[in-house]
Amino acid sequence: MNLRSHSPQRRLDCAANEAARSRIYLYVWTLVVLAVAAIAVVLGWHAGGGTPDPAALAAAGVRVSRTTAVVNSAILVFREGLETILVLGR
């Protein structure tokens, strides 16, 4: 039996490593939550007037890019999903 593996110093080192790992996880999760919140704010900020009506744009002769159409659709789906969750949550 190896007495060194059960020494108090080794236990302290393991506890210190566990505390450091826990702190890193806290920082990573905090960063993830802040990033998601920042993205939600930016999306909300840009979608303040709502998504444009594609039929109105086509009638005006404005041609939107594929990226614009995808982003507008994603914002619309996100907002409708959020509304559904909030309504069902009540």
Question: Looking at residues 72-90, what average pLDDT do you find?
Answer: 87
The yes-or-no verdict on residue 81 having pLDDT over 80 is: yes
Write the pLDDT tens digit of every residue in 3-19.
Answer: 455 566 666 677 778 87
Write the pLDDT tens digit of every residue in 20-74.
Answer: 888 889 999 999 999 999 888 878 777 656 666 777 877 888 887 888 888 888 8
Find the radius of gyration of the CA atoms of the chain.
25
Three-class HEC string of the chain: CCCHHHCHHHHHHHHHHHHHHHHHHHHHHHHHHHHHHHHHHHHHHHCCCCCCCHHHHHHCCCCCCHHHHHHHHHHHHHHHHHHHHHHHHC
